[in-house]
Chain A
Amino acid sequence: MLISEQKPMEEILGYLNGDRSVFLLGCDGCAQASHTGGPEEVREMQGRLEAAGKTVTGSTVLDFLCERAQVKLGLVPFAGQVAAADSVLVMSCGVGIQAAAASIDKPVHPACNTLSLGGSRGEWQGSERCMECGDCVLEWTGGICPLTACTKSLLNGQCGGAKNGKCEFQPDLRDCGWHLIYERLRKLNRLQLLRDAPINIKQYSRMQPPKEIRNTPRWSLDVRA
């Protein structure tokens, strides 16, 4: 199970600063179990956003947001509500946020930090998407994680090693993650985000799952099994 926590409300409102309207996307998988993105949390979030003066054009909670095909299919009935929103707030793990970003041609904001895989991987097979860093940066990077998409896990932009959009390491296999981020943000007309992003000196201590998680019965059962 992917264990997530909701980001502080002021951080989320900071992300939504330039947006008047937002569509809310929750997850009926691990995010519901973590109480960070199930139906109840999405309802609460809607109330808090409306209290902050935002228009919520609609919301839905999909089964396993980490499965990109499910996200695409699941959003079809909500296409109008998504289109009417300035952006989409995704309440799930980092895989779900990236699956949403890859399915929607709009800015996607992360509402959660992913703390731990806690036993199982996300469902978007084929590549690794989330390192459970506990301090999600997807807001600044167009919904593509630089920790997993960049071979060097660079956080402050493209290195000098990319050629033709490919990584200096195994260019036949690897895209340059920062090239993908650049292209996505350019398409969304949001390159300014790269300029505005604060210099990131990562708190790698947050990659250690917090003590509270280690103390849960689920974790201990899993470890001792």
Chain B
Amino acid sequence: MKLTELFRQGKFVVTSENGPPKGTDVAEMLENAEAMRGRVDAVNITDQQSSVMRLGSLAACSLLKQRGIEPIFQVTCRDRNRIALQSDLLSAAVLGIENVLCLTGDYVGLGDHPDAKPVFDLDSVSLLETVRRLQNGHDLANEELKGKPSFCAGAVVAPEADPVEPQIIKMEKKVKAGAQFFQTQAVYDPRAFESFMGQVKHLNVPVMVGIVLLRSAAMARFMNRNVAGIRVPDALIEEMDKAEDRTKKGVEIAARLIREMKGMCQGVHIMAIGTEKLVPAIVDEAGL
């Protein structure tokens, strides 16, 4: 089912994400997906996350779809030119995939194949525009399609980026290019998120706040130093530091953030990064 349908019904939409394995053994990935069955509305499948070569998002999405778990096909522009991207979008459509998330993708130098040729023929904005044109029955060369796809196309934004204005300008462009929902980078400061939502109100597009499950104070400090657009406040780091049971504390913080921000937005995107089995606990504790 398209996420747009859920937003239309006024549902607070819950998504999480799952990374394909490096290799062909999909058992663990499917186990993680199984743990989320019925607990989230859809599961993002990452596309060579952090530029690390893995099983493809399209194949993994198809496996989930076959099992009745709604996938969100993440598509980045790092590894494919416009011919391959359009072709994969058509392939996704015939495999029954209805939700796509259009991303630029990390630079190749950050991953495990730094010598690869970076592509970036399109970017997140022009990829959204591409989805729109395909849905209208033509490709980027304006050639007519025999049968056209129909997707719910989403995009991402970082509400705590500094400065946030270029992010908002790009978000406006993404909406113009056809983005129907947004998942955000992790947010840890409800006040900052409230201010962000105030600034993008005019766009009238569903926003799903991003939650990254904290596993330790060290992880929080690492993200503050290295991950763009993420700012974990000192108070939360201290809370993690003092916790006896860090797993429990991480879940508690995630649930608390969701409860605090639920009223400000239209959904939540939970990123458990390797501990997907904790997602149901977060959903329960957040009262979703």
**A interface residue numbers (CB < 8 A to B):** 151-164, 167-170, 178-179, 182, 186, 191, 194-195, 199-202, 204
A159 to B167, CA, bound (A): 8
Q: For A153, A157, A167, which residue has the most chain B Cβ atoms within 10 angstroms?
A: A157
The interface residues of chain B lying within 8 Å CB-to-CB of A157 are: 123, 125, 166, 169-170, 173
Which of B156-164, B188-196, B275-283 sits within the interface?
A: B156-164
- Contact count band on B: 35 or more
Q: Are A200 and B173 in contact (CB under 8 A)?
A: no
Nearest residue (CB) in B for A182 is B166
Question: Which of A163, A164, A169, A179 is in CB contact (< 8 Å) with B110?
Answer: A169
Q: Are A151 and B107 in contact (CB under 8 A)?
A: yes
The interface residues of chain A lying within 8 Å CB-to-CB of B228 are: 160-163, 168
Q: How far is the CB of A193 from chain B (nearest CB, A)?
A: 10
Q: Are A156 and B163 in contact (CB under 8 A)?
A: no
The interface residues of chain B lying within 8 Å CB-to-CB of A201 are: 82, 122, 126, 129-130, 140
Q: Are B185 and A160 in contact (CB under 8 A)?
A: yes
Q: Are A191 and B169 in contact (CB under 8 A)?
A: yes
A155 to B226, CA, bound (A): 25
CB of B16 closer than 8 Å to a CB of A? no
Nearest residue (CB) in B for A186 is B165
A156 to B179, CA, bound (A): 14
CB of B176 closer than 8 Å to a CB of A? yes
The interface residues of chain B lying within 8 Å CB-to-CB of A156 are: 123-126, 170, 173
0/1 interface trace, chain B 110-123, chain A, CB 8 Å (1 if under) = 10000000101111
Main secondary structure of the interface of A (DSSP, over half): loop
Nearest residue (CB) in B for A201 is B126
A118 to B109, CA, bound (A): 30
Question: Which of A168, A195, A202 is in CB contact (< 8 Å) with B107?
Answer: A168
**12 A-B pairs (CB sep. < 8 Å):** A156-B124, A156-B126, A156-B173, A161-B228, A163-B226, A163-B227, A163-B229, A168-B106, A168-B107, A182-B163, A194-B166, A199-B176
0/1 interface trace, chain B 162-187, chain A, CB 8 Å (1 if under) = 11011101101100110000000100
Top 10 A-B residue pairs of the complex, sorted by shortest distance between their CB atoms = A157-B170, A156-B125, A169-B107, A163-B228, A158-B166, A182-B166, A169-B109, A152-B120, A159-B104, A201-B126
Interface contacts beyond A162-B161, A186-B165: sample of 13 additional A-B pairs, CB < 8 Å, sorted by A: A155-B123, A157-B123, A157-B166, A160-B157, A160-B167, A161-B228, A178-B166, A182-B165, A191-B165, A191-B169, A199-B177, A201-B122, A201-B126
The interface residues of chain B lying within 8 Å CB-to-CB of A159 are: 104, 123-124
Nearest residue (CB) in A for B140 is A201
The interface residues of chain B lying within 8 Å CB-to-CB of A199 are: 125-126, 129, 173, 176-177
The interface residues of chain A lying within 8 Å CB-to-CB of B118 are: 152
Q: Are A154 and B120 in contact (CB under 8 A)?
A: yes
The interface residues of chain B lying within 8 Å CB-to-CB of A179 are: 166
Q: Are B167 and A200 in contact (CB under 8 A)?
A: no
A152 to B104, CA, bound (A): 9
